[in-house]
Structure 1
Amino acid sequence: MAKLLIIEDEADIRELISFNLEMNGYEVQKARDGEEGLDLAKKSDYDLIILDLMLPGMDGLKVCSQLRKDANKKDIPIIMLTAKSEDEDIIKGLESGADDYITKPFSPRILVARVKSALRRSSHDVSDHEANRISIHDLVIDTARHEILLAGEPIILSATEFGILQFLAKNPGWVFSRNQIIDFVKGEDYPVTARSVDVQILGIRKKLGERGNIIETVRGIGYRMKGE
């Protein structure tokens, strides 16, 4: 049974989410604010976190960033909840390390479907080690351990950034549109803006430092990983 943490300050929404997840067989714990949620997240192991963006005190962006800095918690899938649908708010959530987002008001069925999808993606990362080891340029991408080494040094990426880099590295030299990239990482018909994909690519390049140029922008089409 997957163990989930809900960090949401609105009691009715918190209980609605909890009820629907428990009805689908998940074990659920709840937190009313960012400080409590971060404390619970660090004290126990969770398979997924549902995190509200607008929280009193420590907001969702800070909670997410803190978790991504923790070596023991950096791989937990995080679904961000936001009452706003503007691109800027979605982008901020993704930049902080969230793997997915849902805007309020939302359908409980869609929420549960997104949770199931995120958990499936997470479980795929523990498949056969050698079969999922990619070496290209100075990168070694280990999907079994969800680890990336650049010139022997570890790099910390969010689950979404990891998926994008893995996809491009598996297909060096091939150009992919933003929609093709997001279809691979999130699944088909996933609602996402082109700019959100651009932000993820920018984040990957920053973390690769001087080697960020191995991901090329192909004007008017999308992105590709340089061939060796």
Structure 2
Amino acid sequence: MSVTDSVTDSAIGARAAGDAPLRVAVIVGSVREGRQGRAVADWFLATAAAVGPEFAFDVIDLAEVDLPLVMPGWGGTPGPEAAAALRGVSPRLAAADAFVVVTPEYNHSFPAALKNLLDWHPREWQTKPVGFVSYGGLGGGLRAVEQLRQVFAELHAVTVRDSVSLHGPWSGLGEDGTPRDAEVCAGAAKGMLGQLAWWGRALRTARAERPYGA
């Protein structure tokens, strides 16, 4: 095969990858009893379904992922318990083209379970876009999102500029987790998804054409 053939095949592969639906892992970050995170995630997914078929969603609910807090040393091998938990979540993160993190704000920050997931996976986020759906208090979870942006930057991920912020879950959300100001929140979700789609396709094509760090 000539160099020209190789370059052409690479370009064709990149175009094919660009046409496929974006695989988006939706991470539900709260594991607290009585949480509204799963209801908020369900509302987001229903809203996203109206955008069109360009996304394929995979919900990763951290209440169903039993990652231990104790980690092996850098380069070490996880124990049997951790290895079993990782088998259920790591391949799904690696396969994702993009992420949406659904997070509350706890004490001006994000949940420990979410940080634990990030720390267990130093490479799965690289060169992929991340969008946020946050909720909590008068700030709507925005302080949690600002801290997450710093963490994802360290993990070589790209966070999209616009996010979805749901204020006062005890009054701003219905019992089913649907925002009472549904039109405004749905508009924010569609705006964030538009940015996620642009970055997701651009970065997926870039990864296909040239591995990160090469």
- Place the TM-score, normalised by the shorter chain, in its bin: 0.3 to 0.5
Query: Higher strand proportion, which one?
Result: 1
State the TM-score, normalizing by the size of structure 2. 0.48
Query: TM-score normalised to the size of structure 1?
Result: 0.45
Bigger RCO (CA 8 Å, 6+ sep): 2
